[in-house]
Amino acid sequence: MAAMLKEKIDELIEFIKYCIDNNTDTQAFEKRLNESNYNKFRMKLNQDNKFDVLTCAIGTVEKESENTKNIILCIIRYFDYKELNYTFKIDGDVKIPLFDAMIKEQFLLAHSLMRMGANTNYVNNEGVNLISFIQKYYIEKVDIVKILKFLENFDNENLDKNIESFIIMLIESKNEEMLKRVLNYKLKDKNFIYIIKFLTCFKYRIPLTNNQIYELKYGEKNRY
């Protein structure tokens, strides 16, 4: 059974990759899924702790389109995902569907996942949230400004908190180039003028305690 399952997983991965790479029509993709015998392995594939079809499919997409988004939504329906706020771990890699979509700039999909219940404020059992997920696994690979623009459009309620957390994260990781991009993006907003202070501390390598960060942040913002 284990060998048969592995063979089926490999076959499914190749099938999904082929359809995404070749921009297969969503209806044709769904038809082929329904005609296959993957449904016999559906529950096992979802429950197997060595494979997750959703995060695998998200990782397969090189360039998002409306069609790739719809293929992945089809996968969610076919494999009957009831919960989208979850963590999948394999070989040291941590996968979280919404966060994966965001860091891979699949913002059409990310918006759809949010409408289906995926939450940008999700925190897993190890305390990993969006900020720490990026900091730990993708700090050198992700365009934070694009993520902020996405959040500004679709999760504006938590935007201030996320911007502040990103700035602190970039200062701590000494990611000067990305910090400059974030600053250029938000310095026009007077509510974020206090980040100049953060930048000064970063420039001169002045360490800040959590209390100092809090005082700096709210002390400056309360002036407006």
Q: What is the pLDDT of residue 221?
A: 47
Q: What is the pLDDT of residue 224?
A: 41
Q: What is the pLDDT of residue 29?
A: 92
In angstroms, rounded to a whole number, what is the distance separating the alpha carbons of residues 153 and 104?
Answer: 17
Averages of pLDDT over each 10 residues, the chain, 224 residues: 69 90 91 76 56 91 94 91 90 90 95 95 90 81 86 73 76 77 67 59 64 62 45
pLDDT in tens, 88-97: 987 778 999 9
* DSSP per position, 61-86: -SS--HHHHHHHHHHHHHTT------
Distances (CA, A) of 171 to 26, 78, 182: 43, 43, 11
CA 163: distance to chain centroid?
Answer: 16
Query: What is the rounded radius of gyration, in angstroms, for the C-alpha atoms of the chain?
Result: 20
- Which ranges constitute the DSSP H helices of the chain? 2-21, 26-35, 42-47, 53-60, 66-78, 97-103, 107-115, 130-133, 144-154, 159-173, 176-186, 195-203, 210-221
In angstroms, rounded to a whole number, what is the distance separating the alpha carbons of residues 164 and 211?
Answer: 14
Quick one: which of 139, 142, 148 has its CA closest to 120? 148
Model-level pTM?
Answer: 0.77
